[in-house]
Amino acid sequence: MSKLEGKVAVVTGASKGIGAAIAKALAKNGAAVVVNYASSKAGADAVVDTITAAGGRAVAVRADVSQAAQARDLVEAAVQQFGRLDVLVNNSGVYEFAAIEEVTEEHYRRIFDVNVLGVLLATQAAAKHLGEGGSIINISSAVTDALTPTTAVYTGTKGALNAISGVLANELAPRKIRVNVVSPGYVVTEGTHTAGIAGSEMEAGFVAQTPLGRSGQPDDIAGVVAFLASDDARWVTGEVINASGGVR
């Protein structure tokens, strides 16, 4: 039996990049998956098509996770479509870098709203439906250790996410719901292309600092998430797992 057979998962920000790979990996392991997107309907539909063509179950649902009503509707869609909820992957995230002189309130609010408030809202909505064996996986970043200049706001969101995840691991443990963090190092995605990182000197710097000596790929992250979603990880909670080729 596939290790996620019978489970239902919501993956936020699954229209592209790391989230798309996670949605496909969970489905490959037997989960029915809600593929969330904010603006890229075509990307989400393509992920759903890939999953259904392979015999899996998935639906695309639009929601801005930083809006409470939309985060709630996203989780309700999973229950309506598939009858239950077992796994929430909080992957949606935005990144944009700025030297301290360039940081604006708008920059701060945009990044914190998606990367931190969005996680709180989706988790709040999901916690109502998760039962014993439920698993929440939050996608953070190795930036919390790297402390790279010009990333104060983004790194701040991921530091907050790590702390929030630890709190929620303790808070939800009495209900036997696990909460863990996966921290990728640099991963080549649509987002890193848009941000101008892919192919840049910054990327070369990341690779040079990576013991395993290459850029990460979305599938490098997805397998770790599938493990944490499964009952193989039933004794693992409150952990931050680096999936970073050895960067710490």
Which residues are known to be catalytic?
154
Task: Rounding to the nearest 10 degrees, give the CA dihedral for residues 50, 54, 60, 65.
Answer: -90
Q: How far is the CB of 222 from ligand NAP (least distance, A)?
A: 11
Stretch that binds ligand NAP, among 3-11, 14-22, 23-31, 173-181 (CB under 6 A): 14-22
- Residue from 8, 9, 10, 17 in contact with ligand NAP (CB under 6 A): 17
Residue 61, phi then psi, degrees to nearest 5: -135, 125
How many residues in total does the chain contain? 248
9 in contact with ligand NAP (CB under 6 A): no
Least Cα distance to 90 among 112, 115, 127, 125 occurs for 115
151 in contact with ligand NAP (CB under 6 A): no
- Residue from 4, 8, 9, 19 in contact with ligand NAP (CB under 6 A): 19
139 in contact with ligand NAP (CB under 6 A): yes
The DSSP string of 180-240 is EEEEE-SB--HHHHHTT-TTSHHHHHHHHT-TT-S-B-HHHHHHHHHHHHSGGGTT--S-E
Using CA atoms, how far residue 211 sits from 192, 214, 240, in Å, is 20, 8, 19
H or E segment and range at residue 37: strand 32-37
- Residue from 7, 11, 95, 136 in contact with ligand NAP (CB under 6 A): 95
64 in contact with ligand NAP (CB under 6 A): yes
Task: Rounding to the nearest 10 degrees, give the CA dihedral for residues 153, 158, 160, 165.
Answer: 170
88 in contact with ligand NAP (CB under 6 A): no
Give Cβ neighbours of residue 149 (< 8 Å, ≥ 6 apart): 99
241 in contact with ligand NAP (CB under 6 A): no
Q: How far is the CB of 230 from ligand NAP (least distance, A)?
A: 20
- Residue from 23, 48, 56, 91 in contact with ligand NAP (CB under 6 A): 91
Considering the complex, state which of residue 64 and residue 86 has its C-beta at the smaller distance from ligand NAP: 64
Give Cβ neighbours of residue 31 (< 8 Å, ≥ 6 apart): 4, 5, 7, 8, 9, 86, 87, 229
7 in contact with ligand NAP (CB under 6 A): no
- Residue from 9, 27, 35, 38 in contact with ligand NAP (CB under 6 A): 38
45 in contact with ligand NAP (CB under 6 A): no
58 in contact with ligand NAP (CB under 6 A): no
Q: Please report, as ranges, the residues that interact with ligand NAP according to CB under 6 A.
A: 12-13, 15-19, 36-40, 64-66, 91-95, 114, 118, 139, 141, 184, 186-187, 189-192
